[in-house]
Structure 1
Amino acid sequence: MRVSLITDGAASPSTAEHRPAAPVAATTIAAVHTALPPHRYAQDDLTEPIGDLCLAPGADRVLLRRLHVSTGVGARHLALPIDQYADHLGDFGRSNDAWIAAGLDLGAEAVTGALREAGIEPADVDLLVCNSVTGVATPSLDARLVGRLGLRPDVKRLPVFGLGCVAGAAGLARLHDYLRGHPGDTAVLLTVELCSLTLQRRDDSRANLVAGALFGDGAAALVAHGGAASGRNAGGPTVIATRSHLFPETEHLMGWDIGADGFRVVIDAGIPRIVREHLGRPLRAFLADHGLTTDDIGTWVCHPGGPKVLAAVTDVLGLADDALGSARRSLAAVGNMSSASVLHVLQSHCGSQRPEPGTWGLLMAMGPGFCSEFVLLRW
């Protein structure tokens, strides 16, 4: 029997059997801020240097070049200047040290910007959730940032590893869970992903070449208030409900193979097919539990996993061709930044592209597990 993991009620035997959730206090998104490394490159300018890193001298570059053209990426930001990667890749300790140094700078920039836009002081933060899947540190990034950012010594912290691309959506969902129980609190979600530092030297596997063509680096921070703090400044929508879903027997599709050289990416070519076969039912059931259908969703905030994944989402949900336009624009501008990307997409809907009041939104991402996370929003 398959069990769906949900966050707006108790677990039930199947998604189709979920009962409508009882109304709960909404979480208000006050601000979202993205921080990008200063080293920005057009996609065309990265193709040959990445080929030099990933391929043996004289190797055929036809597949590499085709992948760089087909990803829908126009430009990316990298944690380091591209000419420094030869000195870091292949030495996990050195690449991880670079992740810590650059990650702390970007994380501090993202949280500072989000707090400023939310109009609150660092001492007002009660919970800091920090996610990354592209490096490891103990003390964790969040612990190292507390003093630097001026957060309270008693701030609650939760470092998260392993969620990958889904973590931007899952992190927001877990903030909502926390704020339901602490409605007077303010929580911050920080995602830091420096994907370029996980590339493998002299690895011509399709997964490594796809990663070298698709992923970019960046960080994003989100500030959220509990329902009892609803009078505070709010630059974004409210979170109405969330749901998690694990797809059976798909653990092999995405993740890391971890070895002496660090994180070797696993990206199965069958992911778009899994999306087409399995995404629609749990998503429609989630919406139905709140009296909604896909036609009621006016704003789709989707993680830009890549052109084939976005096409699969569009097809399986029967969406208009431009429904995921904000995800495609994010992909073109900065590449796939793993967990930070869905927050980059959300940020675009909290400013000049903010929907009309009353608009329903659905924020969604997928990641290792293989899993999905849905967050129902309303502007």
Structure 2
Amino acid sequence: MAPPPPPPEYSQSVKLKYVKLGYHYLINHFLLFLLLPITLSLTIEALRTTPQELQTLCNSIKLTLIHVISSLFLVIYISTYYIMSRPRPVYLVDHALFKPPASFRVSFAGFMEHARMAPFSEPRSVHFQMKILERSGLGEQTSLPPAIRYIPPSPNMNLAREEAELVIFTCMDSLIRKTGVEPKDVDILVLNCSLFSPTPSLTAMVVNKYGMRSNVKSFNLSGMGCSAGLISIDLAKDLLQHHPNSNAVVISTEILTPNSYMGKERAMLLPNCLFRMGGAAVLLSNRRSDRRRAKYRLAHVVRTHKGADDKSYRCVSQEEDSEGNVGIKLNIDLMAIAGEALKSNITTMGPLVLPASEQLLFALSFIGRKMINSKWKQYIPDFKQAFDHFCIHAGGRAVIDELQRSLRLTAEQVEASRMSLHRFGNTSSSSLWYELSYIESKGRMKRGDRVWQIAFGSGFKCNSAVWKCNRTVDPTAEDGGPWADCIDNYPVYIPEVVKL
């Protein structure tokens, strides 16, 4: 007869994750546990007090009419000051996205055929683009404007304006349908487009098309890279703090027609393989009447600018190659610089959003490294304790991989970013809104959920925004969105290399 198995050791029978959950609960509710015995003691003492003792206590406090009036005035003054000085809440009523026509889609085969037939191409450049496309994480349904797909490409001003009108007006029309906002009721208009900045401006184009009021406050941002969408949100938020009972429309896009690189330098061919058509329009409001119908409330915006460092400043730049062809050059140390910018950004963001338990662990780790042993491993806060959803700028597979590793996120938490990159490509500043729309279309956005949007841009910048879901989003109400015809097909498996 075989001997009975030995009893399990305590360290093996207790799952560490439950110990960690208990620790987080204890630290995060520390004040509650501290106040509970105090409140209980005061309640017991109050129950022991007789009515005669309470009357004696009240009679011992001698208040005159002047005391009462002064006390009332002080209470009213403090209440008024608090109400007037606190920040106005900023709500995201809804957002609308550009869905490219099916005729604009560019398959892998079509992209490579165009690369081979382009008059400026050479075998080495074609092979390089093929290798990039194989590992890019993009799918077969991303879109490019017609002018770039001409042989030879025809990036003139008229076609660039046509692309801008198609993308921006489609987003605006959809936003008007979804929210019911009238163009004449728009108080603030912010539009960001980094590389195409014509005169009259793109905001003037929108004001003219929709007949907006003459006193609409319009702002046109250019040259600020893929994180300009959150810069626009931050600008609109600041304006809404100074203008009560107002709303703001934020439009984010990148116009590709005049910005296709037609040279042979590898560092400048990379954007050709990754960037695709896209655009988003967002309605923000500080009106209390919009509180119930708004999808989200803006909690925080944190902006980090590393432009004072020369390497950071030059890592993404628009310049000419040796033959005079203009393009966007991505330096080889881009990911390292992005990592440093992210570190600075989350150092600022952490105290605003992390629970007390994570902040305490980080502080103890920091003190230990400084005072005891500098070789101790730095504790990386668990941002999964603070957020329910993550929208990481879909700049490319390498960007998503690096942030997933740095923030220790699960595959499901970066699913929205990977699937948006696969379906739409790198749509620059609008990519975060495609990711948010993916989460909504999957039915995962519930009331009270917190969303963290993170984006990177030239300069070099890392910007992030935190939203709190105001109401559970019904995916069936999102008819006509960019994911409407394909959300049931996602998520899909994306291999490391797609052989072309």
**1:35 and 2:98 aligned:** yes
Alignment check: 8 A CA contact 1:31 1:115 kept: no
Equivalent in the alignment of 1:286 = 349
Counterpart of 1:231, as a letter, is: R
- For the 8 Å contact 2:247–2:287, the answer to whether it is kept is no
SS in 2 for 1:269: coil
Q: Which of 258, 269, 293 is the aligned partner of 1:233?
A: 293
1:174 aligns with 2:231: no
Write the deviation string for residues 37-93 of structure 1: whole angstroms up to 9, x where unpaired: 42112233212313433753454632221111111011321121654251414xxxx
Corresponding residue for residue 126 of structure 1: 187
- The amino acid across from 1:216 in the alignment is R
| 1:281, distance to aligned residue in structure 2 (A) | 4.3
Provide the C-alpha distance between the structure 1 equivalents of 2:133 and 2:86, rounded to a whole number of angstroms.
46
Say which structure is richer in strand. Answer: 1
Structure showing greater Rg: 2
TM normalised by structure 1 equals 0.85
Q: 2:314 aligns with which of 252, 258, 278?
A: 252
Compute the displacement of 1:36 (Å): 3.6
Alpha-carbon displacement from aligned partner over 1:218-248 (angstroms, at most 9, x marks no partner): 22111111154433632x3211111110125
| Cα distance in 1 between the residues matched to 2:211 and 2:318 | 34
The 3-state SS of whatever aligns with 1:255 is: strand
Distance, in Å, in 2 between the alignment partners of 1:255 and 1:36 is 28
Partner in structure 2 of residue 10 of structure 1: none
| Contact 1:27–1:226, Cα closer than 8 Å, also in 2 | yes
Classify 1:230/1:258 alpha carbon distance in 2 versus 1 (closer, same or farther; 3 Å). farther
Q: Secondary structure at the match of 1:78?
A: coil
Q: Deviations over 1:189-245 (max 9, x none)?
A: 1123123531222x12122321121110122111111154433632x3211111110
Q: Which moved more, 1:256-265 or 1:331-340?
A: 256-265
The change in CA–CA distance for 1:304 and 1:190 in structure 2 (over 3 A counts) is same
**Partners of 2:200 and 2:325 in 1: how far apart?**
19
- Quote the residue 1:72 is aligned against: 137
- Matches of 1:359 and 1:368 in 2, distance apart? 30
Q: How far is 1:263 from its partner?
A: 4.2
In structure 2, runs of 5+ residues without a counterpart are 1-84, 356-381, 470-500
Moved more, 362-371 or 42-51: 42-51
- Match of 1:310, SS state, is helix
In 2, Cα distance between equivalents of 1:54 and 1:192 = 29
Q: Which residue of 1 aligns with 2:420?
A: 330
CA contact (8 A) 1:168 1:343 kept: no
- Counterparts of 1:204-215 in structure 2, within 5 Å, are 204-215=264-275
Is the Cα–Cα contact under 8 Å of residues 303 and 364 in structure 1 kept in the other structure?
A: yes
Equivalent residue pairs, number: 351
**Mean alpha-carbon deviation: is it higher for 256-265 or for 136-145?**
256-265
State the SS of the aligned residue for 2:419.
helix
Aligned equivalent of 2:398: 308
Counterpart code for 2:317: G
Q: Residue type of the partner of 1:70?
A: R
Work out which of the residue numbers 175, 178, 194 in structure 2 matches 1:114.
175
- Structure 1 residue 350: deviation in Å? 4.3
Does residue 1:265 correspond to 2:328, yes or no?
Answer: yes
Q: Secondary structure at the match of 2:300?
A: strand
Work out the percentage of aligned pairs sharing the same amino acid.
21
Structure 1 letter corresponding to 2:241: R
Change in CA separation of 1:182 and 1:60 when aligned onto 2, cut-off 3 Å:
closer
Give the whole-Å Cα distance in 1 for the aligned partners of 2:86 and 2:393.
Answer: 27
Q: Gaps spanning 5+ residues in structure 1: where?
A: 1-21
Provide the residue aligned with 1:88 in structure 2: 154
SS in 2 for 1:77: coil
Determine the C-alpha separation between the residues in 2 that align with 1:160 and 1:289: 28
Over the aligned positions, Cα root-mean-square deviation in angstroms equals 2.4
- Amino acid of the residue matched to residue 50 of structure 1? A
Contact 2:148 2:154 (8 Å CA) reproduced: no
Q: Report how far residue 360 of structure 1 moved.
A: 1.3
Whether the 8 Å contact between 1:51 and 1:64 is mirrored in structure 2 is no
Map 1:155-194; keep pairs closer than 5 Å.
155-194=216-255
Structure 1 residue matching 2:168: 3-state secondary structure:
helix
Q: Which structure shows the bigger proportion of residues in helix conformation? A: 2
What do the CA deviations read for 1:121-164 (whole angstroms, capped 9, x no partner)? Answer: 11221111111123121111110221312322321110110111
- Which secondary structure does the structure 2 equivalent of 1:103 belong to? helix
Looking at structure 1, the residues matched to 176 and 314 of structure 2 have their Cα atoms a distance apart, in angstroms, of 38
Q: Give, in angstroms, the shift of residue 371 of structure 1.
A: 0.7
C-alpha separation between the residues in 2 aligned to 1:330 and 1:224? Answer: 23
